């Protein structure tokens, strides 16, 4: 199975290294919230079998409205773009487009999908765009703004646009970390003046914006710090270049309000000696707390007012992904085999999430058939032929038996998009709406 965990772990490691203990009462409250939808999950399982992805449209719409309304109340001119890479199921993009979100795409494949969905406001970001991908953007120039990642990409886009006889809007991505893995993205701030000079000489690329992105934002401090650096650059920028700037895209990376829940207190794995027959498993759970989105909006709006607006009056663009879809998709499983009191096998494998997520990340596995507000030690394994196919080290419920139905909640972000046909097929998607009877299978 393709191991994406190394890449995702690198992003996780940008968070504070050691997590805090996660209060049991917080987990219990979360489990209660999931059990409030127990009958809807069970009915969906009865109709469609398992394993399943369950897409909760009510939750998704609520998140979209909350994020949009919160930032609109603080910023005078703001636009929203859903980062499709966080979950590329087409129903999610359709719903968010109806909530007045544009789409943020990171490849020609995603751009094709966005165009096919009828999107009319698309930001095309990401490094290493090919000529064919740029040609697709130029073909749909009335819908697409290209976020240029390098000097070479500026030249390639100019060549492609000139050949097509079209002009296309563009911005330039700014590198936020000039050392380490994140230096692959964008250009350093020190090279912005030179980039703008080259762009002025290109007649088919209308450079009219700037973009930066910082990931894994548990609080807005990293974004604010970069806004302060950028403000100094804007202050010294040529007046004509400032006048051309119609947008500043400050990216996404907003962490959901529950914070990051972890199996162990640090990213190095278990430090606890006990386990289930030799398998290290946590006795406690841990988390990195996240600030609420109101705090992000308040602090970012204040920083924009202090660092950007004195020099450039422009639209502020945001690219939420994880914050919107994290709680919108859940995975429903059935216990196929109870091999011991502390070991069960489910009918779905972690190919549904695409990486060995649950060896490090913690999500309660909830027994819907025999619910309870206490956690039992048990290795919850999938049915793939690999020992790393683990859903968790315990379940919430009275007991567990074969044929019991389980839910692993909040699997909407960076799981479905990473799914893979490894040994077993990926689950089907069932969409449930505001009415629990409103279901649609994909």
Domains defined along the chain, listed by start: 5-56+326-434 (2.40.37.10), 57-324 (3.20.20.10)
Name all contacts of 186-194 with Cβ < 8 Å and 24+ positions apart. Answer: 186/149, 186/150, 186/211, 186/212, 187/149, 187/150, 187/151, 189/229, 189/230, 189/233, 191/151, 192/233, 192/237, 193/237, 193/238
pLDDT at residue number 18: 82
DSSP 361: B
- Give which of 131, 138, 129 is closest to 105, Cα–Cα: 129
**Alpha carbon distance 427, 417 (integer Å):** 13
- From first to last of the 442 residues of the chain, give the pLDDT tens digit: 444 444 444 444 444 568 899 999 999 999 999 999 999 999 999 999 999 999 999 999 999 999 999 999 999 999 999 999 999 999 999 999 999 999 999 999 999 999 999 999 999 999 999 999 999 999 999 999 999 999 999 999 999 999 999 999 999 999 999 999 999 999 999 999 999 999 999 999 999 999 999 999 999 999 999 999 999 999 999 999 999 999 999 999 999 999 999 998 875 554 444 566 666 566 789 999 999 999 999 999 999 999 999 999 999 999 999 999 999 999 999 999 999 999 999 999 999 999 999 999 999 999 999 999 999 999 999 999 999 999 999 999 999 999 999 999 999 999 999 999 999 999 999 999 755 445 666 6
Q: Rounded to an integer, what distance in angstroms lies between the CA atom of residue 390 and that of residue 359?
A: 7
SS3 350: helix
The two beta strands, 144-148 and 122-124, are parallel
DSSP line for 318-364 = E---HHHHGGGEEEEEEEEEEEETTEEEES--GGGTTS-GGGTB---
Q: Nearest 10 degrees: CA dihedral of 96, 91, 327, 225?
A: -40
In the numeric block, the tokens 């690329």 are attached to: 205
- The rounded distance, in Å, linking the Cα atoms of 72 and 121 is 18
* pLDDT at residue 265 in the model: 87
Q: Which of 421, 422, 419 is nearest to 4 (CA)?
A: 419
> In this predicted structure, what is the pLDDT of residue 36?
96
DSSP string, 61-90: HHHHHHHHHHHHTT-SSEEEEEEGGG---H
Find, among 12, 24, 42, 54, the residue nearest to 416 by Cα.
54
357-373 pLDDT, tens digit each: 999 999 999 999 999 99
DSSP conformational letter for 407: E
Predicted confidence (pLDDT) per residue in 271-325, tens digit: 444 566 666 566 789 999 999 999 999 999 999 999 999 999 999 999 999 999 9
Q: How far apart are CA 146 and CA 170, in angstroms?
A: 5
* Residue that is written with structure tokens 């839910």 in the block: 407
How many whole angstroms separate alpha carbon 276 and alpha carbon 377? 8
Phi, psi dihedral angles at 260 (to 5 degrees): -95, 115
d(CA 316, CA 79): 6
Q: Which two tokens stand for residue 13?
A: 């490691």
3-state class (DSSP) for residue 393: strand
pLDDT of residue 439: 61
CA dihedral sign of residues 81, 84, 90, 95: negative
| Cα–Cα distance for residue pair 174/192, rounded to 1 Å | 8
Residues 6 or more apart in contact with residue 243 via CB below 8 angstroms: none
Would the pTM count as exceeding 0.75?
A: yes
Establish how many alpha carbons lie within 13 A of residue 317's alpha carbon, considering only the half-sphere containing its beta carbon. Answer: 28
Q: How far apart are CA 368 and CA 418, in angstroms?
A: 26
- Per-residue pLDDT at 421: 93
Q: Quick check: helix, strand or coil at residue 346?
A: strand
Closest among 251, 307, 203 to 79, alpha carbons compared: 251
Token match 């080259």: residue? 198
CA dist., res. 120 & res. 97, Å (int): 9
Question: Which of the 8 DSSP states describes residue 217?
Answer: B
Distance CA 299, CA 419 (A): 36
pLDDT number for residue 267: 57
Residue 30's contacts (CB-CB under 8 Å, 6 or more residues apart) are 258, 364, 409
């Amino acid at each position: 199975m393709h191991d994406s965990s190394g890449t995702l772990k690198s992003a996780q490691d940008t968070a504070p290294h050691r997590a805090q203990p996660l209060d049991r009462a917080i987990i219990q409250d979360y489990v209660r919230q999931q059990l409030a939808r127990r009958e809807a999950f069970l009915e969906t399982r009865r109709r469609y079998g398992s394993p399943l992805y369950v897409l909760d449209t009510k939750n998704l719409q609520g998140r979209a409205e909350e994020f949009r309304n919160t930032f609109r109340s603080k910023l005078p001119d703001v636009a929203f773009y859903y980062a499709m890479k966080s979950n590329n199921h087409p129903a999610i993009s359709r719903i968010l487009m109806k909530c007045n979100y544009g789409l943020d795409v990171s490849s020609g494949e995603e751009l094709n999908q966005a165009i096919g969905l009828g999107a009319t406001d698309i930001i095309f970001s990401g490094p290493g765009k090919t000529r064919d991908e740029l040609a697709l953007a130029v073909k749909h120039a009335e819908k697409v703004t290209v976020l240029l990642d390098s000097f070479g990409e500026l030249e390639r886009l100019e060549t492609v646009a000139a050949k097509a006889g079209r002009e296309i809007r563009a911005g330039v991505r700014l590198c936020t970390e000039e050392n380490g893995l994140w230096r692959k993205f964008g250009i350093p701030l020190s090279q912005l003046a030179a980039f703008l000079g080259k762009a002025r000489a290109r007649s088919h690329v209308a450079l009219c914006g700037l973009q930066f992105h910082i990931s894994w934002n548990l609080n807005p401090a990293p974004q604010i710090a970069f806004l302060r650096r950028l403000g100094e650059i804007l202050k010294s920028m040529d007046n004509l270049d400032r006048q051309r700037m119609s947008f500043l895209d400050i990216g996404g990376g907003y962490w959901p309000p529950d914070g990051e829940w972890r199996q162990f207190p640090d990213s190095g794995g278990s430090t606890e000696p006990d386990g289930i027959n030799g398998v290290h498993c946590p006795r406690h759970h841990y988390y990195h707390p996240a600030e609420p989105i109101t705090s992000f909006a308040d602090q970012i709006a204040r920083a924009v007012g202090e660092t950007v607006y004195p020099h450039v009056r422009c639209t502020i663009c945001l690219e939420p992904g994880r914050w919107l879809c994290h709680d919108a998709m859940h995975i429903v499983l059935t216990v196929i085999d109870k091999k011991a009191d502390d070991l069960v096998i489910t009918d779905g494998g972690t190919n549904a999430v695409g990486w060995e997520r649950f060896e490090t990340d913690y999500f309660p596995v909830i027994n819907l058939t025999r619910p309870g507000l206490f956690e039992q030690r048990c290795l919850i394994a999938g049915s793939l032929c690999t020992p790393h196919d683990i859903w968790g080290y315990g379940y919430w419920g009275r007991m567990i038996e074969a044929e019991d139905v389980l839910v692993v909640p909040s699997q909407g972000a960076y799981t479905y998009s990473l799914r893979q046909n490894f040994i077993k097929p990926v689950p089907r998607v069932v969409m449930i709406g505001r009415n629990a009877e409103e279901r649609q299978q994909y």
